[in-house]
Amino acid sequence: EKGVVQGLKVVGKIDLDQLKKKKKKVKKEETKEEKKEESKKEEVVSEEKDKKEPKTPEKKEEKKEEKKEKAEDENLIRMKTPELRGLKQLGKIDLSKFDKKKPSKEKKAEDKTPKPRTADSNTKRKRRRKRRKINPDQVLRHQNKGRGKKSGDDVKEISEKEIEDKIKATIAKLKTGVKSKRQKIRKESKISKRERAEVVESIDSGKVLEVSEFITVSELASVMDVPVTDIIMTCMNLGVIVSINQRIEKDIIELVTEEYGFEVNFIAADEIDDFADDIVDAEEDLVHRAPIVTVMGHVDHGKTSLLDFIRKENVVDGEAGGITQHVGAYEVNLGPGKTITFLDTPGHEAFTAMRARGAKVTDIVIIVIAADDKIMPQTKEAISHSQAAGVSMIFAINKIDKPGADPERIKQELASMNLLIEEWGGKYQSQDISAKTGTGVDELLEKVFLEAEMLELKANPNRLSIGTVLEATLDKGKGYVTNVLVQNGSLKIGSLIVAGSYFGKIKAMFDDTGKRIKKAGPSKPVKVLGMNGAAQAGERFKEFENEKEAKNIAAKIAMITREQQSRSKKRISLEEIGRRLKMDDFKELNLIVKADMDGTAEALSDSLIKLSIPELQVNVIHKGVGQISESDVLLASASNGIIIGFQVRPSGNARKIAEKEGIDIKTYSIIYEAIDQVKLAMKGMLEPTQEERIKGLVDVREIFKISKVGTIAGCYVQEGVIDRNSFVRVVRNGIVIYPTKENQKVSLSSLKRFKNDAKEVKAGMECGLMVENFNDIKVGDQIEAFEIVSIEKELE
């Protein structure tokens, strides 16, 4: 067998026809171990599926095939290769076992009891949990489902409290208005849309920064969430060298934030978050408060007279010039539960800022209009302030007892301004009154209470106070006296308050009648002592528990205010310097304004600054409250200014220094007198304008040339008059031929009538004249005689 094979050797032959007739199933040779494993597998499968399953006739067929194969030629060499045998049946499953049947009630109870987990349970297929959105209403409905009375359950007694809770829940559900599924879906869609809009808005608002002016580089970096080094590099690229703690100006802040895609909103010192009312009052803590009513209108229309009648006092006689120049705050008690806080505002045009402040802190505005007058500019301004503040308006048409009073005409004017009163089908209340006799005043107050009732004004007296500064003054014996209006909470002696850049601990409080009080609730105007400075009128004040916190906030605002004042001073540009040098007559009037109240000082300063014209700039270099002091005089001396005192007087030392230094101190008690006097002073400082005025027109009719004398013109005076001192110009065919130089003025060298010298020659008369240094005069020329007139400039 191990020898070399020589060619192919025929071992045996296979008859293919016989093989086709046989079944094509060949059992591969199996070892004893393979047969044992297969038999074991068949036993396990048969035990799991069906023990009673009958045996298949497959084994008999296999035995027959083996016998036939043995009968074949033993010399046939077979290759051990796998062969396909078709599908092999391993077992059967009875599907009838898996038919779903409705379990009986007894079965249900059994199924509910938890079954112990067997070892086979781990082999079962795990169920995949489907995620779905959970609706709270459906969860509640599902929880409540099937909680009805069941057979065998004990009847539970319901308490009265549960019944009440159930009724309240039902009423609340009815109030929501969700009556059907469609309404519910609609409501849910609205809520989802609103939530999406809020999310979008919050994303957009993230790109808007709210910062105070003159913020430091490090603060800006923290707000923008950007490294400080990046901010410094950005500033360097813009050509500005800054350090980490340096304050940067508004323009630089805008450029830097724009580089990083932010928008910036600048907030003033009084709008800092530290002054925001961060206390949320619970509904049960709120109580009704008195309405705050501001009286507005034109000057002399009877605002203070109306308040005098209501208060049964006489304030008008105490006002200088009979006009109101301060914001007056009064609390009027008209009976049990009928208290009103009135704010009396000035009607003069200089007090625009005061009227705007009055509209901001008020609930209701009474617009007083005189029936014998018309709606004046200050009345329109007061209406605009009220509409901008969004407060209710009541029109009081005053002076109906005067002859010539026509309330209907006032109502027509209001209608033309789109302000319809209730009588004419509008929404605004009005009342015809007479502040002098008291006619209609009670009806006006009833309308105020009705309006207040509709507004449902409430406040919490048991909390830290917050409010507005109305006025501030410096009293020699009391120090700084601040008039404040409490808007929420209660102000007490010992309270720590901050107003703008000033803070203080309240040492004493007085009501509007001057009586000492210990506590002031909402809507109450009081005068407080203890502030360390004169707070600006209109500032918000807030009470703090911690003195250190109050000092820090006041210092922070003071620093920002100082930066604003120092950097907001006008810097003169090169172009402006050139313009002033070119004008050669530019002047400045420096003023120092001192007044008894901060609001008055502000109003007077604003009015004086508005008087500025291109040739004369009015600068208020300092304004303050209180007596004119030595420092004010020294400041006026250094700046070559004038001191304007409004209802204040200089101290003895200040007066002596002013006389020594030659400083002018002007004191006034009526605001428009101060404004008029400053106007006169400005007129005196202005250079009068030079104007040309034509005096006469002369025709040349004949020429006389005399040697050693020159050319004499025989003339006829057409119109006007020509005199010896007149300036003249020679006009030929409508063109000036002499003088031709700019600003050159020539006069007559001689003027004669016949052979006599004449001072002047009137129209219709003949004369002879010689023009100075001009001999080229011809027949037909015209000579214009004119003079230069100085005219004082008028201030607008």
| Least confident interval from 341-345, 517-521, 754-758, 765-769 | 341-345
* Share of the chain residues as helix, strand and coil, in percent rounded to the nearest 5: 35, 25, 35
Residues with Cβ within 8 Å of residue 699, at least 6 apart in sequence: 715, 716, 718, 780, 782
pLDDT value of position 203: 45
pTM: 0.52
Query: Would you place residue 320 in the very low, low, confident or very high pLDDT band (cuts 50, 70, 90)?
Result: very low
The percentage of the chain sitting over the pLDDT mark of 70, rounded to a whole number, equals 68
The whole-angstrom separation of Cα 316 and Cα 309 is: 11
Burial 435-455 (b: 16+ CB within 10 A, else e): bbeeebbeebbebbeebbeee
Q: Which fold has domain 290-456?
A: Rossmann fold (3.40.50)
Outline where DSSP puts E strands in 177-311.
208-212, 263-267, 287-288, 292-297
Residues with Cβ within 8 Å of residue 406, at least 6 apart in sequence: 371, 372
Domain 467-566 in this protein, CATH class: mainly beta
Q: Which fold has domain 577-685?
A: Rossmann fold (3.40.50)
Q: Does domain 208-267 have CATH number 1.10.10?
A: yes
Query: Would you place residue 581 in the very low, low, confident or very high pLDDT band (cuts 50, 70, 90)?
Result: low
User: H or E element: which one contains 790?
Assistant: strand 782-791
- What pLDDT, in 10s, does the model give residues 208-262? 777 766 677 888 888 888 888 888 888 888 888 888 877 777 778 888 888 888 8
| Least confident interval from 203-207, 303-307, 321-325, 713-717 | 321-325
For residues 132 and 283, which has the higher predicted lDDT (pLDDT)?
A: 283
The whole-angstrom separation of Cα 639 and Cα 183 is: 75
DSSP sequence for 542-584:
EEES-HHHHHHHHHHHHHHHHHHHHHSSPPPPHHHHHHHHHHS
The whole-angstrom separation of Cα 40 and Cα 412 is: 113
The residue to which tokens 């112990």 are assigned: 116
DSSP sequence for 658-674:
HHHHT--EEEESSHHHH
pLDDT value of position 55: 46
The whole-angstrom separation of Cα 783 and Cα 201 is: 79
pLDDT value of position 697: 92
Does residue 652 carry a pLDDT above 90?
no
**Extents of the domains making up the chain:** 208-267, 290-456, 467-566, 577-685, 689-791
For residues 151 and 654, which has the higher predicted lDDT (pLDDT)?
A: 654
pLDDT value of position 698: 92
The whole-angstrom separation of Cα 665 and Cα 674 is: 12
Most confident range (mean pLDDT) of 37-41, 149-153, 184-188, 495-499 is: 495-499
- The answer to whether 472 and 480 have CB atoms below 8 angstroms apart is yes
Q: Does this chain's domain 208-267 share its CATH topology with 689-791?
A: no
Tell me which architecture the domain covering 689-791 has in CATH: Beta Barrel (2.40)
- What pLDDT, in 10s, does the model give residues 698-732? 999 999 888 888 888 999 999 999 988 889 999 99
Does residue 439 carry a pLDDT above 80?
yes
The whole-angstrom separation of Cα 497 and Cα 506 is: 8
For residues 538 and 697, which has the higher predicted lDDT (pLDDT)?
A: 697
Most confident range (mean pLDDT) of 173-182, 296-305, 672-681, 757-766 is: 757-766
- The answer to whether 274 and 550 have CB atoms below 8 angstroms apart is no
